[in-house]
Amino acid sequence: MSLNLPSNYRSSVHPGAESLGQLSTPAKWTIMAMFTAAMTGMLLLGAEGVMRFRAAQKYGSTETVEDLYASDPITGLRIPIPGRHFGGRLTVNRLGFRGPEITVPKPADTVRLAFLGASTTWCAEVSSDDKAWPALVVEQLRLRFPSTKFDFVNGGVPGYTVAASLKNLNSRVGQLQPDIIVIYHATNDMSVELRALAKAQGIIGETRVAERSWLARYSLLWDLTEKNLQLARARQAVEDDTRRLSVDTRQIGEKFRHELAALVTASRAHGDRVAIATFSVQLRSWQNADQKTRASASALYYMPFMTPESLIQAYKRYNDIIREVATQTGALLIEEEDAIPGDPEHFNDTVHFRDAGSERMAHRVSQALAADPDVRRLLAGPKSPDLL
């Protein structure tokens, strides 16, 4: 059956179809390109919105932790901006340190602890300020010595090396009159040293890790994409087994040794007792190949020329140096780095703790401090009748 339509009939389903059909081929391609770009833009904006929503749900903020820092024009140090907050889980006090406010000058009846380190002391990965291991150490000491008043300074700042912590001690932390200073360093100094060796061997072009792109600073989606691509390249490098750094890990760490000893010496001029903790990592020798690759992912992000096995040996070397420096300087050595289980429940990546790992770290530090005769003599003064 045929339909007899009037000669002037135009379809209401595709208005303008005849005029579109009359467009030139370049014009059609232009329209298609504009349509595709518009749809892609809408999809990317939607994905960015999802990322920001998830960040707000998980962290209480759509900022990145990079928004918490500024460069100090005097020392050149990257320091936390006083009074800043990251969602509901990370607070910078008015003095520019993570954690609660403290009284200045220090009250005579208070024992003050200071913690020197980098991102593994700052603890951005834990769920709240009071889950960072320096805060947990002090809380555990309060339970052990209820008659003693404690407060603390978390002097850890992401990216710091031992040399940066020495500057931080002399310019910011020391003036707060700490009684006990705990030092926790290794991975950043190791990365700097090994990247310098890799550059000398022509494996990498720059000793500095490439900074985030301009777009990554403003887009959570692009920031995550960049990081995942770099991690994928690092994992591929392990599988390809090419462009490896040639180094005897038994010979590394001498600069770290010298600078760590200098930091301990300077700390003793400020505090009554100085402690150094050996460094904990998720990567362990007993893990299978897949576990090792996963556990070393963030370390390989910075040192893609290493392997999980060579990283294990490098971390061991740095921990050996920490032990030797403690012996040489008389600092309290806090050991048992492997008491923190090497698994994703305790570690967010190769070196950063989740809540469970932070609690284990605090336990080994507080136990060592509480058992140390010099610390106990310090606490047995007029500040603490618990030990009388």
Of 236, 251, 252, nearest in space to 307 by CA: 236
Which of 36, 59, 82 is where one domain is finished? 59
- Which amino acid type is present at position 1? M
Are 190 and 54 contained in the same domain?
A: no
Q: Which of 38, 59, 80 is the last residue of a domain?
A: 59
Give the torsion sign (CA, 348, 352, 355, 358).
Answer: positive
Q: Are residues 341 and 266 in the same domain?
A: yes
Judge if 368 and 305 occupy the same domain: yes
On whether residue 203 sits in a domain, the answer given is: yes
DSSP percent split of the chain into helix, strand, coil, nearest 5 = 50, 10, 40
Q: 3-class SS at 24?
A: coil
Does residue 9 fall inside a structural domain? no
Q: Tokens 């392997």 — which residue? A: 307
Domain check: are 279 and 343 in the same one? yes
Give the single-character DSSP code of 204.
-
Parent domain of 226: 65-387
Domain boundary among 15, 31, 59: 59
Residue 10 burial (10 A CB sphere; 0-12, 13-18, 19+) = exposed
Residues 158, 42 within the same domain? no
284 and 368 fall within a common domain:
yes
349-367 per-residue burial string, b: 16 or more CB within 10 A, e: under 16: bbbbbbbbbbbbbbbbbbb
Q: 10-residue block means of pLDDT along the chain (388 residues)?
A: 43 45 71 75 64 51 66 92 86 96 96 98 96 98 96 97 98 97 98 96 77 53 58 55 83 98 98 98 97 95 93 98 98 98 98 98 98 93 49
Q: List, in order, residues 6 or more apart from 26 with CB less than 8 Å away.
A: none
Question: What is the pLDDT at residue 12?
Answer: 42
Q: Residue 379 and residue 388: Cα distance in Å, rounded?
A: 10
Inside any domain, residue 11:
no
Long-range contacts from 59-66, C-beta under 8 angstroms, 24+ separation? 59/86, 59/87, 59/89, 60/86, 60/87, 60/88, 60/89, 61/85, 61/86, 61/87, 62/220, 64/217, 64/220, 64/223, 65/90, 65/124, 65/158, 66/212, 66/217
> Residue 222's pLDDT is what?
53
Do 237 and 143 have their domain in common?
Answer: yes
**Predicted pLDDT at 35:** 72
- Same domain (yes/no): 49, 74: no
Residue 265: other Cβ atoms inside 10 A: 13
Do 221 and 294 fall within a single domain? yes
Q: Does residue 231 fall inside a structural domain?
A: yes
Peptide bond into 73 cis (omega under 30): no
Distance, CA of 134 to CA of 142 (rounded, Å): 13
235 token code pair: 């994992």
Same domain for 344 and 313?
yes
Let me know whether 184 and 78 are in one domain. yes
Residue 255 lies in a domain: yes
Angle of CA points 247, 308, 236, to nearest 5°: 100
In the chain, the number of structural domains is 2
Distance CA 219, CA 231 (A): 18
| 45 and 104 both lie in a single domain | no
DSSP letters spanning 230-281: HHHHHHHHHHHT-S-----GGG--HHHHHHHHHHHHHHHTT-SEEEEEPPP-
Specify the pTM. 0.80
CATH code at position 380:
3.40.50.1110
